[in-house]
Structure 1
């Protein structure tokens, strides 16, 4: 259930699906004739991207890129599941309308994703290319990377950056929600909000799986680890405050 103009409406109505949803959910939900359960949708996402990675590896002899690609696709798939789970969990609760609108309807997670994606590309094509090491993209895709493999790589990187942006936004809005409205929730609601904060932290921690594949590139390692630490601190603070309000 969600609420519109102060009243609850079923979570499968257009207002709930396209008014209080992540952009990712709106896009998937808008595909005609597509109605999949969350686990099935995530499995299809993983299978599709992993299948393309293996196909391109076989066609272009890029098997050395498969472990990194598989890790990235797995993290993105976990991110999709967490986004769907968070969205459903929050819409089932009687949370303040201002919080839900800020979280879902502002589309700030897309802006944060774009910023992180542009920052990543800037690093790859400038700092990394001039570092004296073999550039990361060259290491993965070779000296003359095939266009389809580059396209898939950039698509997967965008997918990751979008999920990271969503994690940032869920964490920040979660803390604002707790600070502004924490004393309005009963014990059951606070436990549910605590699960939401822990789920947000959990997704950030999963992203540490990417660290081994960028090891030796200090800026990327610091960016990933710093992101995980920041989300843990922000959502952890929210969780502590929720515990104090019991």
Structure 2
């Protein structure tokens, strides 16, 4: 008997890992491999190009993305194991809205870094971290890590929206309510973890407001969902 979740009831991240032909890897192993690949790449390029200040910021981003992976997998496991209504489950996983939110966030971030920030300041963040002539391979890795980070953040926001909608729309039995509450609190925890990025955004008011606003929004929405599910 195969106990693996069906595709359409998983995050896109889980579907990709599970669909790789010939690859059998535990969730912990997949996350460990993700962290190892990114962190080794960050440190190696920092050593080659003497970009140790950028390596600290890169490591923070890798850590936040890794925590996001752990939270995503745990939220998925808990939700699939709970007796939540089918529409709730399909909206959370099957719609893939988290990918749409990721694309929007990533495009906005790239536009800010390479257009808006360059036009608005004499010391854009990319130049501060990587110098006036950033190495191509360093920029490539940076964008890859940022995409990974944006995906986790997009998923967090979608989980918050669906979580609040679900507790307003449906009534749950006590065990399911406890699970739904736990899922929402996990999302709050991931939101707080993203504050690790704040120290690197002190001279970037737009990014600081975006990250801070996202953390506050997710905390409020998921926290409200966690509170409401216990009162219904």
Whether the TM-score (by the shorter chain) exceeds 0.5 is yes
- Paired with 2:138 and 2:203, the residues of 1 have a C-alpha distance of 24
1:213 to 188, 200, 220: 200
Unaligned runs of 5+ in 1: 1-8
| Larger RCO, structures 1/2 (Cα 8 Å, 6+ apart) | 2
1:65 to 54, 62, 67: 54
Contact 1:46 1:73 in 2 (8 A): yes
2:34 to 45, 51, 70: 45
Match in the other structure for 2:186: 199
Given the alignment of the two structures, is residue 156 of structure 1 paired with residue 126 of structure 2, yes or no? Answer: no
Deviations 1:92-111 (A, max 9, x none): 11111111111111110000
Please list every run of at least 4 consecutive aligned residues from structure 1 whose deviation after the TM superposition is greater than 4 angstroms. none
Match in the other structure for 1:80: 69
Deviations 1:171-220 (A, max 9, x none): 00001111111x2x111211111100000111111001001011121111
Unaligned runs of 5+ in 2: none
- Give 3-state SS (helix, strand or coil) of 2:72's partner: helix
Give the C-alpha shift of residue 33 in structure 1.
Answer: 2.2
- Paired with 1:135 and 1:160, the residues of 2 have a C-alpha distance of 21
Match in the other structure for 2:159: 170
- Paired with 2:26 and 2:133, the residues of 1 have a C-alpha distance of 40
Contact 1:11 1:91 in 2 (8 A): no
Deviations 1:12-70 (A, max 9, x none): 1xxx3312111111111111222222222211111110000111111222122110000
Give the C-alpha shift of residue 133 in structure 1.
Answer: 4.1
Give the 3 Å change call, closer, same or farther, for CA 197–124 of structure 1 in structure 2: same
- Paired with 1:106 and 1:11, the residues of 2 have a C-alpha distance of 22
- Paired with 1:11 and 1:109, the residues of 2 have a C-alpha distance of 25
Match in the other structure for 1:4: none
Contact 1:102 1:173 in 2 (8 A): yes
Root-mean-square deviation over aligned CA pairs: 1.3
- Paired with 1:211 and 1:133, the residues of 2 have a C-alpha distance of 21
User: Where does 1:9-158 land on structure 2 (aligned, <5 Å)?
Assistant: 11-12=3-4, 16-158=5-147
Contact 1:22 1:104 in 2 (8 A): yes
- Give 3-state SS (helix, strand or coil) of 2:78's partner: helix
Q: What is the TM-score when the length of structure 1 is the normalising length?
A: 0.91
